[in-house]
Amino acid sequence: MGRKRRDVEISEEPNDLSARNLFTLTFALALGAYLFTLAPGLAPGDAGEIIGAIHSGGTIHPPGYPLFAILGRIALWLPFGGAGWRINFLSGLFNAAAAGVIALLVHRIGRQAWAGFLAGGLFAFSPLVWKYAVVAEVFGLNNFFVALALYAAASFEL
């Protein structure tokens, strides 16, 4: 049952349809921008090592990032793009998903879809997130899990 504020009932749960649309819009916008600027292959920094290790079945430098390596091996099955592009795409995919979850989180807390969209966009297009979303890096997977954990915590608290 919802709370009452000034004789208006406020739903405890965001509208499922608007939440789904908010996630989809934020995710699609971020992923589209990432795809447009995605590195086509090897990039400087750890990306080359990560792509090489995943492609050859080796181990990434410590701590090894086993989940990202397994998901990278699955990403190599994509029927398009080179090996480097496919693993770079995986980073963009997880960062875009994190932006979508952040949009849902803010929508859930503030009950304003525009605030959620703004928060997800600010996250997705912040310089450091974008920098690591277009090359093979493990930060996107971490961002996604942290966003999920925050959303789960807000779900229990609100």
**Is there a contact between 95 and 143 (Cβ–Cβ < 8 Å)?**
yes
> For position 13, what pLDDT does the model report?
54
> For position 36, what pLDDT does the model report?
95
What is the distance between the alpha carbons of residues 134 and 94, in angstroms, rounded to a whole number? 11
Number of H helices, E strands in the chain: 7, 2
List Cα–Cα distances, 129 to 19, 109, 157, in angstroms: 23, 23, 28
Q: What is the mean pLDDT of the segment spanning 78-92?
A: 91
Q: What is the mean pLDDT of the segment spanning 16-31?
A: 87
pLDDT at 14 over 60: no
Confidence of residue 20 (pLDDT cuts 50, 70, 90): confident
Q: What are phi and psi of 125, to 5 degrees?
A: -105, 15
**Is there a contact between 130 and 34 (Cβ–Cβ < 8 Å)?**
yes
